[in-house]
């Protein structure tokens, strides 16, 4: 099964949060899961890293496959965004990741369940 890791966990790891490090190590060791991130989550990390963070950041991201975004995912993400943004704060990034999981399959790991209220999406807050 694909395990999509949201950017909040990746950012935590890059900032030295031990809970994030331990979780990612456990997930990587679990052969039931393939490590994935969404294209927008990768962009969030890459666009905002500082030059001195580049080597470590790209090393971390190299452990993940990046799911592309196509027309079907954008269209499904738009539906999810319009349905959940006003009540749960689901933003474009969250909606696109949820649409990816909805169409392709998998599970999202993140720290903010509120952003993923969709009943058809498997979400877990790991710590």
Residue 66 near residue 37, CB atoms below 8 Å: yes
DSSP string, 24-61: HHHHHH-TT-EEEEEHHHHHHHHHH--GGGHHHHHHHH
Q: What's the pTM value of the predicted model, to 2 decimals? A: 0.94
Q: Residue 19's pLDDT is what?
A: 98
Task: Convert the pLDDT of each residue in 99-114 to its tens digit.
Answer: 999 999 999 999 999 9
Q: Is 66 exposed, middle or buried (0-12, 13-18, 19+ CB in 10 A)?
A: middle
Q: Residue 89's pLDDT is what?
A: 95
Residue 47 near residue 36, CB atoms below 8 Å: no
Rounded-to-integer distance, Cα 87 and Cα 19, Å? 29
Confidence bin at 16 (pLDDT 50/70/90): very high
Domains and CATH numbers, the chain: 2-124 (3.40.50.1010)
Phi-psi region of 121 (alpha: psi -120 to 50; beta: other; left: phi over 0): beta
Rounded-to-integer distance, Cα 68 and Cα 86, Å? 26
């Amino acid at each position: 099964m694909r395990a999509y890791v949201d950017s909040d966990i990746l950012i935590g790891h890059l900032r030295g949060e031990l809970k994030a490090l331990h979780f990612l190590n456990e997930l990587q060791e679990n052969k039931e899961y393939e490590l994935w991130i969404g294209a927008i989550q990768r962009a969030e990390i890459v666009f905002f890293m500082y030059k001195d963070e580049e080597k470590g950041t790209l090393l971390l991201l190299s452990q993940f496959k990046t799911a592309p975004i196509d027309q079907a995912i954008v269209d499904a993400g738009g539906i999810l965004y319009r349905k959940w943004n006003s009540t749960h704060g689901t933003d474009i990034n969250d909606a696109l990741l949820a649409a990816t999981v909805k169409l392709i399959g998998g599970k999202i790991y993140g720290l903010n369940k509120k952003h993923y209220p969709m009943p058809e999406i498997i979400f877990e807050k790991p710590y």
